[in-house]
Structure 1
Amino acid sequence: MRFKAALLHFAVIVGGLLGAVPVATAEPLQLVGFGDSLMAGYQLPPDDALPVKLQKALIAEGVDVVITNAGVSGDTTTSGLARVDWSVPDGTDGVILELGANDALRGIAPEETRKNLEAILDRLKARGIPVLILGMLAPPNMGGDYGDRFNPIYPELAAKYALPFHPFVLDGVVTHPDLQLEDGMHPNAKGVDVMVERMLPVVRGFVKTIGDR
């Protein structure tokens, strides 16, 4: 009887210890918003930046995700290429890539922009990190020839690398002064809301493909 009682006591202790072990839960998806001032949230409070609002929209839909803001105002594709290795840390599950606006504003040769974006995509591909491309369009004042060389870069790279693609990051904002800052180039807080609304379907699909991997 004493042996049975001791055995029962031991089983109760072990059971209690096992019950105290926390249940492992899945870690949130780690995304990086990699880009320029449009990603960084130029002249906006941190909570109004594109990565933050996009993260909130996804969480509201039940997606467990963290989107790190790796946007740097003024960055060209050359600048982005120079920092992509350390701006996108190990453990990143996916990158939302938004670069090229400053290339167009500065009249950088579209061929240079394409080469830099390809190099960025190649580096991320080599690390096994999926990418979503946010497209950009050349300003009309750059002329038709420049636009004809610049605008196809993004859809062509998306097709070449078989990547999800949102055609124009400023869709719904660029022709609406009430959604822009006084400079007429950057979105205000309401403009960022519109950007999130327009790109959310493709971002939602991108996140799902990562979760299914």
Structure 2
Amino acid sequence: MKTLLSVFSCCLLLALTSCGSDSQTATSVATPPVAADKKPPTARSRTILFFGNSLTAGLGVEPEEAFPALVGQKIDSAGLGYTVVNAGLSGETTAGGRSRVGWVLRQPVDVFVLELGGNDGLRGLPLTDTRRNLQAIIDTVRRISPQTQIVLAGMQIPPNLGADYATQFKQTYIDLARENKLVLIPFLLEGVGGVAKLNQPDGIHPTPAGHRLIARTVWDILQPLLKQPVATKAL
């Protein structure tokens, strides 16, 4: 099973098959042509797309050390048959994500992990805007790809901008998950946020060890979900 990583998105390759025809030698009795065997179409690989900011992109670590790649390794080990796409973009806000989500959905996606909002919180952007943008992203995914399962990665911020802001910021993810019936990762940086040895000198971006812990947190939520049968459209 292949695990693909891309800063924006990875296009799935289409297999092209060609059919050959055998010429037949003329005889006194015509031989009826033999119908070619019809092979069933090859099922496409299921895709899980991580849509986020520098945490998803793995700023400051090697691509294979970022948590989406580590989750991909766990998926491969479990034989679950998913291709991982890393659509993380450093510095991304919810407004930026809202503007590009349609582009990354040009490829089929089975599971969409939404990890955005941390930069909004660190910049003290209005929570109403953050909530509106996240809801718009959710709505876009459901409009373009109704069968896609959405997983929302919850985020928390330090109380630098006031305890009320930090509390409401955290609650935004809980409310969105409940109202939209989403699978919620309560806190993406559980056990990592604020722990100096698990973060780079900026105190924001995880080290490889930090990403390993994040991968475990994400995997605990994703594993049961990925084992469920994939929904199919009625013919």
Partner SS for 1:34? strand
Structure 1 unaligned blocks of 5 or more: 1-9
How far is the alpha carbon of 1:89 from its aligned partner? 2.3
Alignment partner, residue 84 of structure 2: 67
Cα separation, partners in 2 of 1:210 and 1:43, compared to 1, 3 Å: farther
In the alignment, does 2:174 pair up with 1:158? no
User: Number of paired residues?
Assistant: 198
Deviations for 1:143-189, whole angstroms, at most 9, x for unmatched residues? 11111321111111111111111011111111322111111111111
Residue 143 in 1 paired to residue 166 in 2?
Answer: no
Alpha carbons of structure 1 residues 210 and 81: separation in structure 2 relative to 1, 3 Å: farther
Tell me if the contact between 1:32 and 1:88 (Cα under 8 Å) persists in the aligned partners.
no
Q: Check 1:43–1:123 CA distance in 2 against 1; reply closer, same or farther (3 A cut).
A: same
Is 2:203 the partner of 1:177? no
In structure 2, distance between residues paired with 1:181 and 1:150:
24
1:186 has 2:205 as partner? yes
Identity of aligned residues (%): 34
Larger CA deviation: 23-32 vs 119-128:
23-32
TM-score by length of 2: 0.78
Partner residue in 1 for 2:16: none
Does the 8 A contact of 1:104 with 1:139 survive in 2? no
Alignment CA distance shift 1:52-1:22 (3 Å): farther
- 1:117-139 CA-to-partner distances (Å, cap 9, x unmatched) read 00000111112122100000122
Residue identity in the other structure for 1:65: Y
* Letter in structure 2 aligned against 1:178: K
Amino acid at match of 1:173: V
How far apart in 2 are the matches of 1:209 and 1:104?
34
Shift of 1:22: 7.2
Which of 142, 147, 151 is matched with 1:125 structurally? 142
Output one character per residue of 1:93-119: Cα deviation in whole Å (capped at 9) or x when no partner: 121100000000000011110000000
- Residue 212 (structure 1) shift: 5.1
1:105 to 99, 108, 122: 122
Aligned-partner residue type, residue 110 of structure 2: D
Q: Structure 1 residues 76, 70: closer, same or farther in 2, change over 3 A? A: same
The alpha carbon displacement at 1:47 in A equals 0.9
User: Aligned in 2, Cα 1:210/1:179: closer, same or farther, shift over 3 Å?
Assistant: farther
Q: Is the 8 A contact 1:42 1:73 kept in 2?
A: yes
Query: Contact 1:94/1:210 (CA < 8 Å) preserved in 2?
Result: no
In 2, the alpha carbon distance for the partners of 1:209 and 1:141 equals 41
Runs of at least 5 residues in structure 2 that lack an aligned partner in the other structure: 1-30
Q: 1:167 aligns with which of 174, 179, 186?
A: 186
Q: Give the letter aligned to residue 151 of structure 1.
A: K
Match 2:56 to one of 24, 39, 49: 39
Aligned 8 A contact 2:68 2:215 in 1:
no
Q: Supply the RMSD in Å over aligned alpha carbons.
A: 2.0
Shift of 1:24: 5.8
Once residues 205 and 144 of structure 1 are traced to their aligned partners in structure 2, the CA distance between those partners, rounded to angstroms, is 34
- Give SS of 1:205's match: helix
